[in-house]
């Protein structure tokens, strides 16, 4: 039976084939998932995302300076919200699919999408992910970091470090014309080598002109060349969620957002927005 081919990559009529077209058309003809042309950002769009990323990064730096035990997650929301507006940006999470706040704050066993609130106070020993996405002149820039409140258990510190290494090793392995699944393999191998697990239900994503674009950037490994072919000019996040216990997670039924580990063990996540250049990934924020 002939394999059904998804024709994402189209060369405009009369336009001569570039070397890039030829490589992509070849993978496409062999049945692999390739990007649509509009996922290749223009230099102007890349500059816009980079500018937006300065606000995201500035907000995360501000959180790094201010965060301490006794603060509430609503205090973090206020910091990020005001910093973003002061710099001419809009916080992308606010009202996104009904999300009620300007930033995600995810403590300990909360994997991601934690909703800031007045009642939730940071305590010594907590580990928290703060995930900031800015819209500036229509361009989206998405990044998150972990913060340790004072000090914590050696195992939790190791988890925070391993999660960062997973992201950075996945990024370092990414070259033009590799596949999303190649990133996932590196991440999964490093997590498992350190006795940690990789969350499957949430992924990284294309970003820039919208909050979540193609491709899905899965972080767990499967065999073969899985996911989308990665082509210079694509902009996407890598943001693995790494668990100290099992990989299973559930969503809070009451708020419809908060994702927690099933076993109550902690989870850690670091996120950058990257540009794929001819040489590899460049951090935009």
By the criterion CB under 5 A, which residues form the site for Co ion? Answer: 131, 142, 144, 237, 271
Starting at the edge strand that comes first in sequence, how are the strands of the sheet with 267-269 ordered? 197-198, 241-243, 267-269
Q: CB under 6 A: which stretch of 96-104, 219-227, 258-266, 274-282 binds ligand MF3?
A: 96-104
Q: In the complex with ligand MF3, which residue's Cβ is closer, 102 or 108?
A: 102
CB of 120 to Co ion, least distance (A): 19
Q: If contact means CB under 5 to 8 A according to the sort of partner, which of Co ion, ligand MF3, none does residue 174 touch?
A: none
- Residue pair 212/205 in contact (Cβ under 8 Å)? The answer is yes
Rounded Cα–Cα distance for residues 228 and 198 (Å): 20
Q: CB under 6 A: which stretch of 6-14, 70-78, 91-99, 221-229 binds ligand MF3?
A: 91-99
Q: In the complex with ligand MF3, which residue's Cβ is closer, 34 or 60?
A: 60
Tell me if 239 contacts ligand MF3 by CB under 6 A: yes
Tell me if 104 contacts ligand MF3 by CB under 6 A: yes
Which one, of 54, 96, 102, 53, lies nearest residue 78 by Cα?
102
Candidates 75, 120, 126, 142: give the one binding ligand MF3 (CB under 6 A).
142
Q: In the complex with ligand MF3, which residue's Cβ is closer, 104 or 159?
A: 104
Which residue, chain included where needed, has tokens 């990789």? 198
Which one, of 46, 21, 52, 47, lies nearest residue 34 by Cα?
21
Tell me if 113 contacts ligand MF3 by CB under 6 A: yes
Tell me if 133 contacts ligand MF3 by CB under 6 A: yes
Q: In the complex with ligand MF3, which residue's Cβ is closer, 24 or 80?
A: 80
Tell me if 131 contacts ligand MF3 by CB under 6 A: yes
Tell me if 213 contacts ligand MF3 by CB under 6 A: no
Candidates 89, 93, 116, 170: give the one binding ligand MF3 (CB under 6 A).
93
Q: If contact means CB under 5 to 8 A according to the sort of partner, which of ligand MF3, Co ion, none does residue 93 touch?
A: ligand MF3
CB environment 82-97: b (16+ within 10 A), e (fewer): ebbeeeebbbbbbeee
Which residue pairs, CB below 8 angstroms and at least 24 apart, start in 76-83? Answer: 76/103, 76/105, 76/116, 76/130, 77/101, 77/102, 77/103, 77/105, 77/116, 80/130, 80/132, 83/55, 83/58, 83/59
Q: In the complex with ligand MF3, which residue's Cβ is closer, 122 or 202?
A: 202
Tell me if 91 contacts ligand MF3 by CB under 6 A: no
CB of 235 to Co ion, least distance (A): 12
Tell me if 99 contacts ligand MF3 by CB under 6 A: yes
- Interacting residue ranges for ligand MF3, rule: CB under 6 A: 93, 96-97, 99, 104, 113, 131, 133, 142, 239, 271
């Amino acid at each position: 039976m002939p394999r059904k081919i998804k024709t994402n990559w189209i060369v405009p009529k009369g336009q001569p084939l570039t070397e890039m077209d030829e490589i992509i058309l070849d993978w496409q003809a062999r049945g692999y998932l390739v990007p649509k042309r509009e996922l290749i950002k223009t230099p102007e769009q890349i500059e816009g995302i980079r500018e937006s990323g300065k606000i995201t990064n500035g907000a995360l730096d501000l959180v790094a300076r201010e965060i301490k035990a006794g603060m509430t997650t609503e205090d973090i929301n206020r910091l990020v919200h005001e910093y973003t507006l002061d710099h001419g940006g809009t916080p992308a999470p606010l009202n996104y699919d009904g999300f009620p706040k300007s930033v995600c704050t995810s403590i300990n066993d909360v994997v991601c999408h934690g909703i800031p609130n007045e009642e939730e106070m940071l305590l010594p020993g907590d580990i928290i992910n703060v995930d900031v996405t800015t819209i500036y002149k229509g361009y989206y820039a998405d990044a998150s970091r972990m913060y340790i409140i004072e000090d914590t258990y050696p195992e939790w510190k190791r988890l925070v470090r391993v999660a960062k290494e997973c992201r950075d090793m996945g990024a370092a392995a990414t070259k033009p014309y590799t596949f999303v699944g190649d990133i996932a393999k590196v991440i999964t191998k490093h997590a498992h080598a350190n006795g940690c697990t990789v969350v499957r239900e949430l992924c990284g994503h294309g970003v820039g002109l919208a909050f979540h674009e193609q491709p899905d950037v899965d972080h767990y490994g499967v065999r073969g060349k899985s996911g989308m072919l990665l082509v210079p000019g694509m902009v996407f996040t890598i943001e693995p969620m790494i668990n100290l216990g099992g990989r299973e997670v559930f969503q809070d039924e009451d708020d419809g957002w908060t994702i927690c580990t099933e076993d109550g063990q902690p989870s850690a996540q670091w996120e950058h927005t990257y540009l794929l250049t001819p040489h590899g990934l460049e951090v935009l924020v």
